[in-house]
Amino acid sequence: MINETALLESQTLRGSVLERTDVLDRVKALSLLPDGMHVTTAMVASYFSVTVEVVRALVHDHRAELEASGYRVLAGTELSDFKQLSGIQSRTRSLALFPRRAVLNIAMLLRDSEVARQVRVHLLDMEYLARTQPVENSAPQDATSLDARIDQRITHVLGRTVVPLFNALIETSGEHRRELTALRAGVQRIEKRLRQHHARLQRLEAPREGRPLAGVMAAMDAMNGREFEEHVAELLRRDGCTDVVVQGGGRDRGIDITALTADGRRIVVQCKRFAPHLSITSPEIQKFLGAAKVLHDSEVALFVATCPFTRDALNIAAESGITAVHRGLVEEWSAGAALTVLE
């Protein structure tokens, strides 16, 4: 089970639970901007009952991680377009925006806030239930159905209203075409993630029609090394990667799988099918780093394992640009969730 200290200290663990944004509303109502998707720095500070300076300091210390969660600062024409589309009345020259994922990320970084602590407690309780209960008991039917209906409604609005609005604006705008195209791409990414989340809820709601989450890791634990490599290769293909090749044998030069992302970036993968009580250590990450960056000149490096990583291993991976896909992330990935680094 993930504990609170590990959650505060491990970026990889925080990233593995960022989709559970519903825990925010279980603790306290989170007010959103008129666009229905974002909050400002002041709104984040109000939610956690801390000062704006505390939030800004946290952003300064963890900016890259929060940007990966969706945090961004708008200025210039991009800010003007956002104000016009969302109906915000403000003379500010820049505006920091946090989606719900980034707010949850803040909750997992903010130590001196009782609200943040309560969010972490709820989050850890949900993770524990999801990993220990049978699938049919892992989520109440009414709550899952409600989430599914909300996701469907939001997806419908994005696909049938917001995206067509952007299309019309792009056709009639010459000066701001690039900014509008970028905003439209962002909305379409949100729509895609909602569809993926809805598909996951459907699997939880009807376990007989898909593989139960509790059985995903059991199936992988029964695989041998080669079968696990083939499984990871199939996940890459499922998520749009091309030229996926399982190397195998003694000539792999420290790499088990090579591939290209959907946008053409070079991927290298190391697969370790270890028992759950073992851990990936820092020397293994260092060895993979040399093969991935020096021998193969990779742009995306994945170390996929059926066991946890030590803290030193996670630190080295984060510092060197390696994505550590630990046991929990493998479970989520196999169950249908996408790896952010592949998008």
Of the ranges 21-25, 54-58, 83-87, 218-222, which is most confident?
Answer: 54-58
Q: Which of 34-38, 50-54, 304-308 has the lowest mean pLDDT?
A: 34-38
- H-type alpha helices, 17-140: 22-27, 41-48, 52-61, 63-68, 76-86, 100-107, 114-132
Predicted confidence (pLDDT) per residue in 322-343, tens digit: 999 998 888 888 888 888 888 7
Q: Which of 16-30, 145-159, 189-203 has the lowest mean pLDDT?
A: 145-159
Instruction: Copy the structure tokens of residue 113.
Output: 């806030």
- Tell me how far apart the alpha carbons of residues 339 and 262 are, in angstroms, rounded to a whole number: 13
Q: List C-alpha distances in Å: 52 to 42, 48, 55, 117, 121.
A: 6, 10, 5, 18, 23
- Alpha-carbon torsion angle 193, 313, 214, 191, nearest 10: 0
Could you tell me which residue, 163 or 291, shows the higher pLDDT?
291
Contact 335/211 with Cβ under 8 angstroms? yes
Q: What is the pLDDT of residue 150?
A: 54
Report which secondary-structure segment, H or E, holds 189.
Answer: helix 177-205
Tell me how crowded residue 111 is: count the other CB atoms within 10 A of its CB.
10
The 3-state secondary structure of 294-332 reads HHCCCCEEEEEECCCECHHHHHHHHHHCEEEECHHHHHH
Predicted confidence (pLDDT) per residue in 177-224, tens digit: 666 666 767 766 776 666 665 555 554 444 434 444 445 667 777 788
Question: How does residue 143 score in pLDDT terms, banded at 50, 70 and 90?
Answer: very low
Q: What is the pLDDT of residue 10?
A: 87
Q: 155, 39, 195, 154: which is closest to 107 by C-alpha?
A: 39
